[in-house]
Amino acid sequence: MDQRTAILDAAERLLAASEDHDVATRAVCEAAGVTQPVLYRQFGDKKGLLDALADRGFERYAHRKAGLPVTDDPVADLLSGWDDHTRFAAANPALYQLMFVPRPRSRSVARQRVLDLLAATLTRVAAAGRLTVEVDHAAQVVLSANVGAALNRIAQPEVFGEDLSHRVRDAVFGSLLRDAPRREGRPGLPSAARRLRAQLDLTDPGTLEPEETALLRRWLERLS
């Protein structure tokens, strides 16, 4: 095992065991069997260590997400993704808080990468005509609600019951999703424009020049 991995493993163990979800670099070095100059050479400072640990947590999260089944029902996949996010938080409370509680001057990219994963699923939902708002807006709302519910459950399980996640999930998606469109129905222009934009994100038709595609996206954005 290389020194960087040993330090990260030690930091994660100490973080999970800590009552205040914090670690001391000296304790991490002792647990990893390295000197403090080695830690600083690898990570720069304690913030760098925590950022690296948060990013490693995201890699684990992303690998978990990649294992989720992708079905023909993007809304079902969206709901499944919410529930899996909640399970990840419950199984890794200290690491989850490190990943999602904002830290001053943090350079971790975990939150943005989680947003990108969520946006990919929401794009499929939009392409199916089920999303009532723009994908980026929906991703921010869904992630904020999912994280908030998970953090409250971690911090005060005696106050926030086990059904909190589903209650928040149903309220959020109730405001962002519409029922499946009927075949004989005619969608409104804004909805149709959002749907076509999402379908362009999923599949490049290959029949337009890049400039034409950019112009089409601009028109659809204004219509939606």
Residue ranges covered by each domain of the chain? 1-44, 56-223
At the top level of CATH, which class does the domain 1-44 belong to? mainly alpha
For residue 35, report the phi and psi dihedrals to the nearest 5 degrees.
-90, 160
| Contact (CB, 8 A) for 195 and 129 | yes
Residue 45 has pLDDT above 80, yes or no: yes
Which residue pairs, CB below 8 angstroms and at least 24 apart, start in 178-187? 178/129, 178/130, 178/131, 178/132, 179/130, 180/128, 180/129, 180/130, 181/129, 181/130, 187/129
Say what the pLDDT of residue 110 is.
67
CA distance 73 to 60: 25
Residue 213 has pLDDT above 90, yes or no: no
**pTM score, whole prediction:** 0.77
Q: What is the pLDDT of residue 187?
A: 54
Q: Which amino acid is at 131?
A: L
d(CA 196, CA 59): 32
* Residue 188's pLDDT band (cuts 50, 70, 90): low
> 183 Cβ partners below 8 Å, 6+ apart?
none
φ and ψ at residue 180, rounded to 5 degrees: -55, 130
Round the average pLDDT of the chain to a whole number and report it: 88
Q: What is the amino acid identity at position 85? A: H
Any idea what DSSP says for residue 21?
A: S
- Give residue 194's pLDDT band: very low, low, confident or very high (50, 70, 90): confident
Rg over CA atoms, the chain? 21
What's the average model confidence in pLDDT over 24-48?
95
pLDDT in tens, 85-140: 999 999 999 999 999 988 777 776 767 888 888 999 999 999 999 999 999 999 99
Distance CA 108, CA 120 (A): 21
